[in-house]
């Protein structure tokens, strides 16, 4: 097999271990009657050696299994029989979830290193748990509350009155205002939380700004990607539910409500007062107009232009969006018409 670099460069990632194989089996929910063996790290399928654990989730690569040299591999039950002798199969119906857990065991997220950098500016009225880490040139405003084990990255600005829960990771150059943030929330570099919503009254004389008097409320375990923006509400709150994952470069308008464990991918934009149900998936560059209702578990395809409500579990694509089956039928029809138009006409036809 070609030489492939192993993950977890020690210059950038913390490392634990070695761990006994039984611990890994328990973590992924696999049978624990495994050999007494130490595993020292994680590695891709192609480069894993006898001291590594790897995984296989995509069946397209199943033909690689017989030739692997890993000490252990996390696999689906359907593929367990193809694991070679000498490699322990950690069998689970969710190999990728198991891999995520094992990788996090060997390479946990950095814990807060308690302390405030001398260059940080902290208002005396802020309530900061002693275990919090605050980086260089960060600014923490009046009446801010920051919970145990949270990290405020360098050059970040936490505005007056903001509440940040425990074990949050606020990366570099993030700005937060008018927000209440739960526990274990991650804001990646450059995220902007709580700025004015895009609200104004239009008259013949021009635009009159409408005061944006709501907040941003972010639930436990949510993650907001780099350079994404979430406007505070106008009169209501903008609400990001627990476990929501928002990718980089996403715009969330004022008063938007996003249900638990929804996923919104890069460069998507959601206009004000749209309600998005739990477990919705919105693909890259999709655009949603305001005041829509997107039902639980709906899926919105990449670059879709959504102008009407989407029911629970529905899949839509295109601009303007329509059910995915209808969209693909139209694409096929147009392709056939284009191909027929290029065919030479028969003589006398």
Catalytic residue ranges: 254
Give CA–CA dist 166/21, Å, rounded: 32
The alpha carbon dihedral of 325, 327, 331, 336 has a sign of: positive
Give the other-Cβ count within 10 Å of 67's Cβ: 10
Encoded tokens for 191 = 């995220």
Kindly state the DSSP code that residue 296 receives in the 8-state scheme: T
CA 87, distance to chain mean position in Å, is 32
Residue with tokens 């715009």: 251
Give CA–CA dist 218/258, Å, rounded: 10
Read out DSSP for 97-131?
HHHHHHHHHHSPPPPP--EE-TT-EE-TT-EE-TT
Q: What's the count of helices (H) and strands (E) in the chain, helices before strands?
A: 3, 39
């Amino acid at each position: 097999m070609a030489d492939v670099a192993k993950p977890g460069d020690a210059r950038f990632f913390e490392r634990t271990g070695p761990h006994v194989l039984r611990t890994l089996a328990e973590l992924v929910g696999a049978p624990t009657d495994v050999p007494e063996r130490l595993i020292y790290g994680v590695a891709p399928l192609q480069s894993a050696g006898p001291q590594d654990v790897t995984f296989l989730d995509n069946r397209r690569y199943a033909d690689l299994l017989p030739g692997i040299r890993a000490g252990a591999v996390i696999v689906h039950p359907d593929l367990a029989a193809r694991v070679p002798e000498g490699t322990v199969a950690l069998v689970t119906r969710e190999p990728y979830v198991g891999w995520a857990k094992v990788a996090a065991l060997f390479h946990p997220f950095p814990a807060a290193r308690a302390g405030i950098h001398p260059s940080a500016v902290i208002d005396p009225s802020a309530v900061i748990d002693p275990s919090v880490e605050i980086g260089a040139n960060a600014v923490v405003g009046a009446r801010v509350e920051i919970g145990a084990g949270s990290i405020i990255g360098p050059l970040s600005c936490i505005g007056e009155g903001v509440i940040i829960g425990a074990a949050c990771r606020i990366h570099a150059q993030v700005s937060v205002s008018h927000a209440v943030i739960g526990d274990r929330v991650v804001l990646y570099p450059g995220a902007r939380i709580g700025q004015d919503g895009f609200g104004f009254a239009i008259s013949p004389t021009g635009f009159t700004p409408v005061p944006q008097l709501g907040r941003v409320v972010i639930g436990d375990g949510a993650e907001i990607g780099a350079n994404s923006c979430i406007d505070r509400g106008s009169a209501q709150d903008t609400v990001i539910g627990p476990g929501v994952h928002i990718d980089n470069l996403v715009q969330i308008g004022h008063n938007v409500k996003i249900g638990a464990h929804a996923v919104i991918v890069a460069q998507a934009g959601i206009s004000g007062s749209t309600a998005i149900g739990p477990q919705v998936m919105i693909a890259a560059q999709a655009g949603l107009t305001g005041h829509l209702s997107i039902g639980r578990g709906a899926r919105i395809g990449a670059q879709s232009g959504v102008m009407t409500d989407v029911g629970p579990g529905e899949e839509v694509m295109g601009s303007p969006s329509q059910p995915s089956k209808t969209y693909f039928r139209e694409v096929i029809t147009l392709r056939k018409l284009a191909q027929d138009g290029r065919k030479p006409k028969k003589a006398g036809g």
